[in-house]
Amino acid sequence: MPLIAFVSPKGGVGKTTLAAHVAALLAQRGHQVLAIDLDPQNALRLQFGLPLREESGFLGEITRRPLWRQAMIETGYGVRVLPYGTVDPLAALETAQALQAEPELLVGPVREMLADPERIVILDSPPGPTSAMSALLPLVDLMVVVLLADAASAALIPQIASNRWLGRGRLATRAGERGVVVLNQVDLDAPLASAVFDGAAETLGARLVGAVCRDEAVAEALGDKRMLLDARDGPAAEDLRAVTDAIAARLRLAAPGQQGRRRGSFAALSDWGLR
Ligand SMILES: Nc1ncnc2c1ncn2[C@@H]1O[C@H](COP(=O)(O)OP(=O)(O)OP(=O)(O)O)[C@@H](O)[C@H]1O
Ligand SMILES: [Mg+2]
């Protein structure tokens, strides 16, 4: 049911890395996860070890109204992926224009995906505003804004805190309220990073849901077609788990198997006046 979007006004900050790791960690906990790449770079599939020759996709084909169930690719991580598809830049531009004219091309299928209460849908997006993301804004439950702990990111934090970072309309403000922040590539030994982290924590409070340290293991793992899914994979792996925990807590995602227990009706309690 929940739709989690990884977004950022900035490029190269770790949106794809975080989207893929959170997806894989949630799948590892038994959730049914579908990850959609909204970025014509088509990089999300690489995180899941799909081969470069795999050129099929979903959003890049959206004007042809692809069937999303058929476009889904199973990965070795228990996550199903809808890659963007390999397309030339002009085609990506045409897709963006088509979505602006007819958002329902994307909103319709995503609504269908979300109709399954067990399914978690994760979006990886390109930097900045896009027609795909604006189309999906009303459906998003959690927008995870990825920033670095640097001066340029620090300058954006007040906008995020005031819920105005997606624009000034009511829809944008409401979507903005669902935004949380993760700082990535943080080196707490660097004075600037440490100061930005402290400032973000003060300004954003509980909306700063986590930080991931800068760790060469992240880039190396991608080069090795692996993900860092074990806390023993190093400091970034531990941070990625903590971010996943925070997102799960925020969305009140009960681990599968515990849902029944949580939701149980416990009929006797009402007889005893306890409910
Ligand atoms: N915590 C980290 N420590 C070290 N390197 C990292 C970390 N997080 C991401 N990287 C590396 O930084 C680069 C950019 O990451 P990624 O592609 O996830 O960013 P992005 O925000 O999705 O970029 P784009 O805006 O191009 O989509 C990649 O090479 C990735 O391996
Ligand atoms: Mg990316």
- Sheet of 119-124: strand order equals 73-74, 79-82, 32-37, 119-124, 3-7, 142-148, 179-186, 208-213
Residue 39 CA, closest ligand 1 atom number:
27
Query: What is the helix (H) or strand (E) element at residue 212, kind and residue range?
Result: strand 208-213
Closest-approaching ligand to the CA atom of 238: 1
- Within 10 Å of residue 121's Cβ, how many Cβ atoms? 25
User: What's the CA-to-centroid distance between 204 and ligand 2, angstroms?
Assistant: 24
Rounding to the nearest 10 degrees, give the CA dihedral for residues 102, 105, 107, 112: 150
Q: What is the pLDDT of residue 259?
A: 54
d(CA 12, CA 135): 23
**Which among 107, 142, 147, 110 has a CA at the least distance from the CA of 127?**
147
The count of structural domains within the chain is 1
User: What's the CA-to-centroid distance between 268 and ligand 2, angstroms?
Assistant: 51
Q: What's the domain range around 228?
A: 3-271
Q: What is the pLDDT along the chain (275 residues), one digit of tens a residue?
A: 899 999 999 999 999 999 999 999 999 999 999 999 999 999 999 999 998 888 899 999 999 999 999 999 999 999 999 999 999 999 999 999 999 999 999 999 999 999 999 999 999 999 998 999 999 999 999 999 999 999 999 999 998 888 887 877 887 788 888 999 999 999 989 999 999 999 999 999 999 999 999 999 999 999 999 999 998 999 999 999 999 999 999 999 987 766 545 455 666 666 666 65
CATH no. for residue 256? 3.40.50.300
Query: What is the helix (H) or strand (E) element at residue 133, kind and residue range?
Result: helix 131-136
Residue 219 CA, closest ligand 1 atom number:
31
Q: What is the pLDDT of residue 255?
A: 76
Q: What is the pLDDT of residue 20?
A: 98
